[in-house]
Amino acid sequence: MDLLVASSNPGKVREYQTLLAEVPLRLVSLREVGLAEMQVEEDGDTLEANASLKAQAYARASSLPALADDTGLFVDALDGAPGIYPARYGGPSLTMAQRRQKLLHELGNTPDAQRTARFVCVIAVAHHDHLETVRGVCEGRIAQVEDGGREGFGYDAVFIPQGYAIPWSQVPVEEKNRISHRGQAARQIIPVLQRLVTSA
């Protein structure tokens, strides 16, 4: 059974291949079904709403079950900013590196104990008229400085997960998948996908 991963990021498709390896599904990308250029306006006011909008739109367009996710970063000392739009933080002209620097600048000399934050990921799966969502949360804090020499994307270089002294950019991928917000949500969506396969 094919499952469309509603993301234009090839790295995310590969990540889900690992996270959902136990489900007998073939994950396909938007490019494979000719929908790479399709844009879905994410105008919901919650992560659930935006993930659902994407999953339903791509499921209708492809006639395949579709999986979409939406992620937010909520920093307590900034009243929840960047919130549900972390990739738009600071405006459309900023690079991701500039967004990380803006976040660190806004926090300034805030002590570690007050730099608490959490990543939240909502995964939605849509198939015909059926829609289900799940939510994963990873607690942590924002680092005082960016980890400049490591791999990672988004806010990985400034987010230190709870129980760790290093940012995500230094955490091995297998370990990150185990504790991350997306990893937690993926584990919750597995039974949903297994039911889909069984009923196909």
Mean pLDDT of 130-138: 97
Q: 147 or 138: whose pLDDT is higher?
A: 138
Q: Mind listing the pLDDT tens digit for each residue in 75-108?
A: 999 999 999 999 899 999 999 999 999 999 999 9
The yes-or-no verdict on residue 127 having pLDDT over 70 is: yes
Instruction: Say yes or no: domain 2-199 is CATH 3.90.226.10.
Output: no
Which amino acids are annotated catalytic? 70
Say if CB 59 and CB 66 are below 8 A apart: yes
Cα 16 from Cα 18, distance rounded (Å): 5
DSSP annotation of 57 reads H
Element (H, E) at 3: strand 2-5
Please report the pLDDT score of residue 199 as a whole number.
Answer: 86
State the pLDDT confidence band at 150, using cuts at 50, 70 and 90. low
Question: What is the pTM (predicted TM-score) of this model?
Answer: 0.93
Element (H, E) at 131: strand 130-142
Cα 34 from Cα 59, distance rounded (Å): 13
